[in-house]
Every structure is written in structure tokens, then in C-alpha cells.
Chain A
């Protein structure tokens, strides 16, 4: 190459390293609060990577739902249960060794999988740089309404996503009812309750 900095690659390195470093930090830290914080940064950097891969809408949703919703939920959980002595995070040395060794082996395997396929290593011939051109969100919306893709691919067909889009709402309803059930105040136990078996 001619030595010019490829800014797409530069931002990839920036966000990629952030994501990697903070995900390792999540594993290494001993405090649950720090874990939650590192996880936030890691997932934020992942959203940046989504933008770089041309998935702007997914990146935005990642920030809104994941970082803004799911992680806040987890942090609430930390706050509700973090009462000094109960949050024991210390991992035994033996566990570290086994976990670390197994993790490194798995990482070696997956990295090999990532770089073994020549086809995945770079953009198509003639494309000098990976373009960060985002797919229009309109396309995503139309597919969610059930329009199948235009079959521009080599194999397979691109289904419309009407069914998942609708059925996930039923799932969310069920899940909400389930969570609400568990979170409701514990009722008085009655002697006649058949559940009281032990």
C-alpha cells in the first residue's frame, strides 16, 4: 500500500481494541460494579464496530436497547443485591488457571477459524477499502414487514421477517408476565398449600 492511513481500519482498530481490552477487564476485575462499568464500555465499542461494518441501525439499537436498557437493568440488579459481604467475587487460583487455560485454547481455536478462511480476510477485489456505507434502515423495516429479499445472493433465499417480528411480541408479553410474577410480593404460605411438601 502507499502508506496512507486507511481511516476505516484505524477506527476499526480503535473500537476493536477498546472492545477487547474492556471485555478482558470484565473477566479480570473482582468488583461487580466495575464489571458492569467495563461491560458498558465494551458494548459501546461494539456499537461502534457495528457502524463500521455498515450496520448503522443495528449500532443505534445496540446503544439504545443494550447499553441503555439491558445494562441499566443489570446495574439495578447489582444495586439491589450489592450488600457488602454477600458479593463475594474472589475466584480461586485454581479456577483461574483452569479457566484461563481453557479460555486461551478456545480463543486459539476461534482465531484460527477467523483467519483460516482466505475469503474473509479483506474486501472484494477492486474495493480499496471497506466502505462504511450504511444500509438504509428502510430496507430493514420493509423486510420486517415481511417482504422477502430480492434474491441477489448466490445461494438460498431471503425470507421476510414478518413472523419473528410479530411472534417476538408474544414472547415479550410472556416474559414480562413471568418476571412480574417472580417479582411480586411473596404471598403468605398456607398450611393447605400442596406445594409445601418438604
Chain B
């Protein structure tokens, strides 16, 4: 299909969400910096949010009866708030760790043998 002339659907939004989600997961797995991991988590959450919003729209799927409607948008809003709260706490913990260790390299977090 021609992406410039054909209308887009929820699938296309999901594809973008999937790319963001995968980038976030890879970020979490490969970055060794605590803040880098936090940024990966933000990507994951935004990928999911994009899905919610896309599923909420009645113009992006063949059967509009199954669209989430405003529910999708409301969930996305609450997720944004929860993500902000989570980021605040994670940052406070990372700074606390940095104060104690003078590094946020998670590879050096090895006092607890695991």
C-alpha cells in the first residue's frame, strides 16, 4: 500500500509504538548508566501509551464499536502521571546511590552478590 495516499490505521500507530517499546527494552538491557535505563523505561511507557491512544480512536479501525473511545485517552493520561511519579522516585534513588558511591554505573553495583 502507498503510505502517502492510503489512510492509516491503528496498526501503523502500533508499529511506531513497537519500535519505541523495543528501543526502550534494548536501552534497559544494554545501558549501564542508571539514568540511561530510566530513559529506556520512558520509551517503553510511551510506546504503550501510543497503543492506548490509537486503540481509543474510532477512525483507526474497521469496526469502531470495538474502539476504546475516551477510555483509551484517560488511561494514557493517568499513565503519564504515574510515569512522572515513578521517574521522580527512581531519580531520587539514583541520586542517593550516587551520593553513596560517586557513580551511577550499575555494573559497579556488586556489593550484593547476585
A residues bordering B, Cβ < 8 Å?
1-6, 8-10, 12-13, 16, 19-20, 23-24, 26-27, 32, 35-36, 39, 42-43, 46, 49-50, 53-55, 57-58, 61-62, 65-66, 69-71, 73-74, 76-78, 80-81, 86-89, 91, 95-96, 99-100, 102-104, 106-107, 110-111, 113-115, 117-125, 127-131, 133, 135, 139-140, 143-144, 149, 152-155, 158, 161, 164, 168, 171-172, 175-176, 178-179, 182-183, 186
Task: Tell me how many residues of B have a C-beta within 8 Å of chain A.
Answer: 85
Given A3-B5, A81-B104 in contact, is the A119-B63 Cβ separation under 8 Å?
yes
A-B contact pairs, 13 of them (CB 8 A): A9-B8, A39-B43, A58-B53, A58-B76, A61-B77, A91-B32, A106-B22, A119-B62, A123-B60, A123-B61, A124-B58, A124-B62, A139-B70
B80 — which chain A residues lie within 8 A by C-beta? 58, 61-62, 65-66
Instruction: Give chain A nearest CB distance to B4 CB in angstroms.
Output: 5
Q: Are A113 and B14 in contact (CB under 8 A)?
A: yes
- Contact residues in A for B8 (Cβ distance below 8 Å): 8-9, 12, 122, 130
A121 adjacent to B27 (CB under 8 Å): no
Which residues of the other chain, B, contact A131 by a CB distance below 8 angstroms?
59
Which chain A residues lie closer than 8 Å to B30 at the CB level?
A: 27, 91, 95-96, 99
In terms of DSSP, what is the predominant structure of the interface of chain B? Answer: helix
Q: Which residues of A contact B12 (CB under 8 A)?
A: 12, 16, 114
